[in-house]
Amino acid sequence: MQGTVDGFAYGAVTPAASYLAAGVSSALGLRCVVRSLHNRQSWKPGWLALGAATIGCGIWTMHFVAMVGFRIQGIPIDYDLRLTSLSLAMAIVTAGVGDFAVGYRGATPVTLTAAGVLTGLAVVGTHYTGMAALELNGTLKYDSLMVVASVVLAVTAATAALWTAASYRGFPAALGASLLMGVALTGTHYTGMAALSVHLRGATDASYMSGLYGNSSPASILLPLLIGPVVFLILSGVVVMFDPQLVLGDGDWSRATPRRRRNTAGVPERPAQPPQTASLFEPRDQPVGRHAGPRGH
């Protein structure tokens, strides 16, 4: 028996929310990667790890926000927590490999392409592992052509987003990269859902469903799972928003220390030192001026 699949039980609310989650998390994660590339004083592993975790959580959150609106007429849906957790770990680790490759090998064409492929595969892997976590009285089947289309869309859009973020600076490039990553994430999800068909098996009467699953709805199951990743994304946003390079906008770090230049008027010129920042992932073992000689001689 063929089940009737509905991916828009709440209309446009869940697609819009999932795209918003994808775009915001992508903006934050890509900003961390670009930050590690353009400022050598940064603690590179910290920014890259934050970027990987943010992009991975964004991929996972986007998928399960969209799944809140997923229904199969006549049967309830539950989720295997082990596979659901595995899909989150897969997203973070796979995106992290691409991020660290760009961070340490540089924004070369080969590295950006490889990182884009890995990020796209993170999106695909998260989606289909998340779908494998579904527990229902039926079997999931996919149209092969649509699955291939979802993979191509994920890889292409993710690669374009990384190229845009790493190759151009300024707000327009950051916005464009975020929008592209949003397309990669949500486009892959809904293309994959278009490939889905469900074949029901056995009894689907109300007593069977109530005995097996209780009265839980997809929203009541998924929303508690989303709390942790959403809180992490908020904290990540706080860290990135207080980054001085983001505040300056164009990355001109020389504007971060005008007061110090005025205070040193009339003092013999010393070799320029790297500007210091108050960012969370900055090394603090070389404070400015601690060993400076006495003035007024």
What are the DSSP calls for 33-82, one per residue?
Answer: HHHHHH-TTS-HHHHHHHHHHHHHHHHHHHHHHHHTT-EETTB--EE-HH
Question: Contact 26/51 with Cβ under 8 angstroms?
Answer: no
Q: Does residue 288 lie in a domain region?
A: no
* Predicted confidence (pLDDT) at residue 206 exceeds the cutoff of 50: no
Note whether 54 and 88 are within 8 A (CB).
Answer: no
How do residues 107-125 score in pLDDT, each as one tens digit?
Answer: 899 999 999 999 999 999 9
Assign residue 251 a region (left: φ > 0; alpha: ψ between -120 and 50; beta: otherwise). Answer: left
Q: Does the residue 130 lie in any domain?
A: yes
Look at residue 290 in the predicted model and tell me its pLDDT. 46
Flag whether 35 is in a domain: yes
Rounded to the nearest 5°, which phi and psi values hold at 138? -175, 180
Report the Cα–Cα distance between both ends of the chain, in Å, rounded.
Answer: 93
Helix%, strand%, coil% for the chain, nearest 5: 65, 5, 30
**Which residues, 6+ apart, have CB-to-CB distance to 237 below 8 Å?**
24, 28
Interatomic CA distance for residues 118 and 41, integer angstroms: 27
pLDDT, mean of residues 78-106:
93
Could you tell me how many helices (H) and strands (E) the chain has, helices first? 10, 7
CA distance to 72, 73, 147, 247, per residue, from 6 (Å): 6, 8, 18, 43
Reduced to 3 states (helix: H, G, I; strand: E, B; else coil), residue 138 is strand
- Is the pLDDT reported for residue 202 higher than 50? yes
Residue 245: per-residue pLDDT = 59
Cβ within 8 Å of residue 21, ≥6 positions away: 58, 61, 62, 65, 233
Q: How many Å apart are CA 239 and CA 232, to the nearest integer?
A: 11
Phi, psi of 209 (to 5 degrees): -65, -40
pLDDT at 279 over 90: no
Q: Identify whether the C-beta of residue 87 lies closer than 8 Å to the C-beta of residue 129.
A: yes
Using CA atoms, how far apart are residues 75 and 199, in angstroms rounded to an integer? 11
Task: Kindly state whether residue 272 falls inside one of the protein's structural domains.
Answer: no
**What share of the chain has pLDDT > 90, as a percent?**
53
Q: Residue 18: pLDDT band by 50, 70, 90 thresholds? A: very high
**Contact call for residues 102 and 37 (beta carbons, < 8 A):** yes
Distance from CA of residue 111 to its chain's centroid?
19
Asked, for residue 266, whether it belongs to a domain, the answer is no
pLDDT of residue 295 exceeding 70, the answer is no
Better-predicted residue by pLDDT, 219 or 161: 161
> For position 282, what pLDDT does the model report?
52
The answer to whether residue 297 is domain-embedded is no
pLDDT for 225-260, tens place per residue? 889 899 999 999 998 888 765 544 444 333 443 444
The total domain count for the chain is: 1
For residue 49, the enclosing domain spans 12-248
The confidence score (pLDDT) of residue 97 equals 95
* Average pLDDT over all residues of the chain: 81
Query: Is 278 within a domain?
Result: no
Burial of 6 (0-12, 13-18, 19+ CB in 10 A): exposed
Q: So what's the pLDDT on residue 240?
A: 85
- Residue 201, pLDDT > 90, answer no
Per DSSP, helices labelled H in 2-43 are: 13-38
Q: Establish if 66 belongs to a structural domain.
A: yes
What is the pLDDT averaged over residues 8-19?
92
The number of C-alpha atoms within 13 Å of 189 and in the hemisphere containing its C-beta is 28
Instruction: Supply the pLDDT for residue 207.
Output: 41
pLDDT at 197 over 50: yes
Mean pLDDT of 166-193: 90
3-state secondary structure (DSSP) of residue 6: strand
